[in-house]
Amino acid sequence: MVFPHASVSRRSFLRGAGVIAALPFLESIAPQVVRAGSMTPVRPPVRLGIYTVAGGTVIESWVPKETGDLGKLPSILRPLQDHKDDLLILSNLSQSGNSDGKVNAHEHCAYLHLTGVDKVGKTDGKPFAGISLDQRAAELVGNGSLMSSLRFGYSGGETSYFFDRSGRSLPVERDPRLAFDSMFKGRQLVAPNWSRRLGQAGSTGLNTPEMRTYERLVVDLILEDAKSLQGQLGRTDQAKLKEYLDAVDSIERRVQRLQERIAQEAEDLKDPGPSRPNAPRQMPADRNASQKMVQLVGRNPAVHADYIRLMIDLMILAFQTDTTRVCSLGIGSDEALFPGVVTVGYEHHAHTLEHHGNAARVEDADPVAREGCRQIHAWYTQLFAEAVAKMKSIDEGGTSLLDNTLLLYTSYMADGGHGRRNYPALLAGKAGGTLKTGRHISYQKDTPVSNLYTEILARFGDQSGTFGNNRTSPKQAYDGRLPNLI
C-alpha cells in the first residue's frame, strides 16, 4: 500500500502490518471461542427443529378424518397417541413451484421442500432455489445462538433441502462423531440456568478488568493503529480504510458477544439449569466406528434406527445446551432397504415401494407396496415419537424443552410418486406458547406450504408476512398466512 501524501513511520507500518495479520487470526480462533462460550439469554428461547423424511407418506394413513380436537390418531401417527395434546396436524398444504426442466422429479421436490419458491432448477449443474426455512430462521436468531444452525442426517445430492440466501445448496453432516465433536469437543456439557439468566438480563459484567482478554486487546490495537492513519490518506485509501474499520468493528462486536457467552457458560457451570445433558450412549467410539455406522444405514434397519436416534439425541443436546436454536434432521433415504420393517410382500427397497405403492388414483396403486410404504412411515413416526417424549422430559425451569420448541415433522415429497399436493405436516411443541396444540386443522385445497413457513418464521420475529411464494403462488390463500394456529 502506498500513501503518497503521508509520512508513515516504520513503527506504524510494522504495527499496521501486524494489525492486518491479526484479522485472519481472530477469525481462525473464533470457532474455539464459540465452542467454549454461550449466549446472553433472557428466558428459554424458542427453538426450531425440522424432522423431514424421505419418500412422502401414505396420506390416508396420516391425516385424521376429523378436524378439531385430536382423538385416535391414524395408523402412521399412532406412535404419537400419548402425545396428541402436544401436536398440531395441518392438512391440504401443497407446493406449486415449477422447475426449469433441468432437474429430475426428486430434485424438483427436494429444492422446493423448505424453500417454497415459484421456481427451482440448475445453473451450470448446480441447484438453485430460494433461501430455505431453516436458514431464514437462523438469520432471525442471529447472534443469539452459538451456532446459527445445524444440519444432520442422510439427505444430500438429489435430496438437498437446505439453501442459503444466495440460493447455494448447503451440506448436511452425516457423521455423528463429527457432529458431536463440532459442538462439544473441549467444552463441558451444561444446561443454561434460564432463571438466573433472566435475573441477570441486561447485566453482562463485561466491564470488569478480567474480561479484557487477549482478543479484546488485539481489537483495540487494530482500531488504534488504523484510525491513526486516517487523516494521512488520500480519498481512495480512506474509502479502503473505512471498509477495513467496518470489518474490524464487526469483529469487535463478535468478540464482545463471545466474551458474553463465555461468561454466561462459566456461570452455568457453577449454577446449572435443572436438566443434566449427557453425551448420547450410542455415540461411536471413533471416526472409523462412526463411518461404519453411516455406511450401514441404508442396508440395515436396526443400524438405521440407531443412527436416527443418535441424530435426534444430538439435536436435543444442541437445544438443551443452547448450542443452536435451529437444527434440521434430513432423515431416511429413498434407496434404503427395510427388511423386518416392511412385513408384507417380498420387496424391501423404499424407492421401489414408493413407485409401486402410488398412482394417480390410490385405488390403482399396488396395495401391498402401499402397505409397505405405510409401515416405513409408521417406523419413522415411532422414532419421532421418541424424540417428542425426550424433549417433553427435559425441564427448563417450569417449562419443558418441548414447550419451548417448534418441531416440524414432514417429508420432502407429498407421496412416493413425486407428489407435491397435500404434504404431511405436523407441528409438535408449543413454540413458547404461540401454538394451540391438540388439534387437526384442514385448510383449503392446495394452500401453499410457504404459508406455514411464514407462520413459523413469524414466531422467530419475521413480521414481513412473506416467504417463498406465499404471495405469488397461483394457489395463494389466506393472505399468505395460516389462520387459527393459536
pLDDT, one tens digit per residue, over 252-271 is 666 777 777 778 888 888 98
Q: Are residues 86 and 125 in the same domain?
A: yes
What pLDDT band is residue 205 in, cutting at 50, 70 and 90? very low
- The answer to whether residue 173 is domain-embedded is yes
The per-residue pLDDT for 281 is: 84
How do 425-428 and 405-411 pair as beta strands?
antiparallel
Mean pLDDT of 40-45: 64
Higher-scoring residue by pLDDT: 472, 42: 472
Last residue in a domain, options 254, 272, 290: 272
Sheet containing 68-69, strands listed edge to edge, beginning at the edge strand earlier in sequence: 68-69, 439-448, 87-94, 425-428, 405-411, 47-53, 326-331, 150-153
- The answer to whether residue 322 is domain-embedded is yes
The per-residue pLDDT for 37 is: 40
The per-residue pLDDT for 257 is: 73
Q: Are residues 235 and 340 in the same domain?
A: no
Give residue-wise pLDDT tens across range 286-330: 999 999 999 999 999 999 999 999 999 999 999 999 999 999 999
pLDDT at 31 over 80: no
- The answer to whether residue 36 is domain-embedded is no
Q: Are residues 59 and 123 in the same domain?
A: yes
Mean pLDDT of 17-21: 41
Last residue in a domain, options 216, 248, 272: 272
Percentage of residues in the chain having pLDDT higher than 90: 65
Q: Are residues 354 and 374 in the same domain?
A: yes
Note the pTM of the prediction, 2 decimals.
Answer: 0.82
Q: Are residues 256 and 283 in the same domain?
A: no
- Rounded-to-integer distance, Cα 165 and Cα 138, Å: 11
pLDDT at 354 over 80: yes
Give the domain CATH number at 471: 3.40.720.10
Query: Mean pLDDT for the chain?
Result: 86
The per-residue pLDDT for 406 is: 98
Domain count, the chain: 2
Q: Are residues 282 and 260 in the same domain?
A: no
Q: Are residues 261 and 300 in the same domain?
A: no
What pLDDT band is residue 112 in, cutting at 50, 70 and 90? very high
pLDDT at 34 over 50: no
Q: Are residues 157 and 215 in the same domain?
A: no
Question: Which amino acid belongs to residue 4?
Answer: P
- The answer to whether residue 41 is domain-embedded is no
- The answer to whether residue 38 is domain-embedded is no
Of 62, 45, 60, 44, the residue nearest 409 (C-alpha): 62
- The answer to whether residue 30 is domain-embedded is no
Q: Are residues 335 and 467 in the same domain?
A: yes
Mean pLDDT of 364-384: 97
Last residue in a domain, options 238, 253, 272: 272
Q: Are residues 112 and 229 in the same domain?
A: no
What range does the domain containing 320 cover?
A: 47-192+276-480
- The answer to whether residue 17 is domain-embedded is no
Higher-scoring residue by pLDDT: 167, 234: 167
- What the block records as the C-alpha cell of 38 is 454461550
- The answer to whether residue 255 is domain-embedded is yes
Phi and psi at residue 136, in whole multiples of 5°?
-65, -40
- Rounded-to-integer distance, Cα 223 and Cα 251, Å: 11
Q: Are residues 284 and 265 in the same domain?
A: no
Q: Are residues 217 and 169 in the same domain?
A: no
